[in-house]
Chains A and B, each alone.
Chain A
Amino acid sequence: MFTAVVLAIAVAVGVAAVAITWPMVKSSFDRSSWSSSMGMYKVGLTYTKNGPYAYAQNGVSAPLSSSPSPVGYCIAYKYNATTAIYSCPSNQPTG
């Protein structure tokens, strides 16, 4: 009797542990997927008839001004007439 109850509790604990663990495992996969997608997130810079534009991923674009502003998940600004400075999730960390 005692052994049967102990076995039942062990099974219940095992099932509960798996159920509790699953969201954590899924969140680890989601984080890994997010991290790799951010590692590829870049911005393109090109001139148009309306001036210089920055094109980030997912179709996000914005005109380049002379002060830093967000373009998608990047920050970009026009440094001079032909060059721009930008920082994106795919850039190397500073530290």
Chain B
Amino acid sequence: MSQILEELIAEPIGLVIAMVILIAGAVGGLYSYWTYTNHVTLQNYLWPIAEVVPYKGGYYLGIVNTGYEPFVVKQIYLSGGSTISVNTKPLTHNQWFAEALNSLPVAVRVCSAIEPSVCVVAPVHGWSMDEIGVPPDAILVVVNGSGDCGWSLTWYDWSGGTISYDKDITFLIQPVYGDVHFILNNLLGPSEASPGSVAVFNVNCPSNNGLPPWLW
């Protein structure tokens, strides 16, 4: 075999043929490799973030493009094993796609808007429930369960004020740098509160003996 090769490349035409074959193989190999690296590179730059929160007995799914490669959302994978096919408009940087669902989504499949054969599957992030923080120089007042009567709340000491209302309300007493005391009218709740805390009151209407509100 090596003798044949030596005889072949000893002739100029044989050398040229051998060179052409070699170069063609090298170029073909490089082209295949280039196609592969392009695919992987584009995949690496698809940066979808998918999130879900429970809402109104179902789920609210949001998908955002955090990268600069535009993509379309193709499929949503649900917890039961089923999938939903979608075909969104291309999402560019910081653009959202949202969908209300009855089942919990677990993953989404997005494909490049430039090269549709390049796709990635992204997990759907779940949710947390947290207290909304109260600034350290404030007291959050929450009045719940408004009934058929009005109520009033007065606070004094480090901060003073009064509010009369007949509905649920949430508001801040701010700024306050020490404890405040409360005077309650038709309310049940704490008699004092400290900065950075929440004071929750429930409306407690007086007995009206079955009379309508305008005859109390």
User: Are the C-beta atoms of B19 and A5 separated by less than 8 Å?
Assistant: yes
Q: CA separation between A34 and B60, bound complex, in Å?
A: 25
User: Are the C-beta atoms of B134 and A46 separated by less than 8 Å?
Assistant: yes
Nearest chain-A residue to B35 (Cβ)? A20
User: Are the C-beta atoms of A91 and B126 separated by less than 8 Å?
Assistant: yes
- The listed residue with most B CB atoms (<10 A of its CB), out of A1, A6, A84, is A84
Q: Which of B22, B106, B107, B132 contacts A46 (CB 8 A)?
A: B132
Chain B interface category by residue count: 35 or more
B119-133 near A? 1/0 per residue, CB < 8 Å: 000011111111111
User: Are the C-beta atoms of A47 and B22 separated by less than 8 Å?
Assistant: no
Chain A interface category by residue count: 35 or more
User: Are the C-beta atoms of A82 and B142 separated by less than 8 Å?
Assistant: yes
A54-95 near B? 1/0 per residue, CB < 8 Å: 000000000010011010011111110111111111111111
User: Are the C-beta atoms of B26 and A85 separated by less than 8 Å?
Assistant: no
Query: Given the known A-B contacts A85-B54, A92-B125, A95-B79, are A64 and B132 also in contact in the complex, defined by CB atoms under 8 Å?
Result: yes
Please name 25 pairs of A and B residues whose Cβ atoms are closer than 8 Å in the assembled complex, sorted by A. Answer: A1-B15, A13-B26, A16-B30, A17-B30, A23-B37, A23-B41, A28-B44, A47-B132, A47-B133, A67-B55, A70-B64, A82-B132, A82-B198, A84-B129, A84-B132, A85-B54, A85-B127, A87-B52, A87-B126, A88-B125, A88-B128, A91-B126, A91-B127, A91-B128, A94-B124
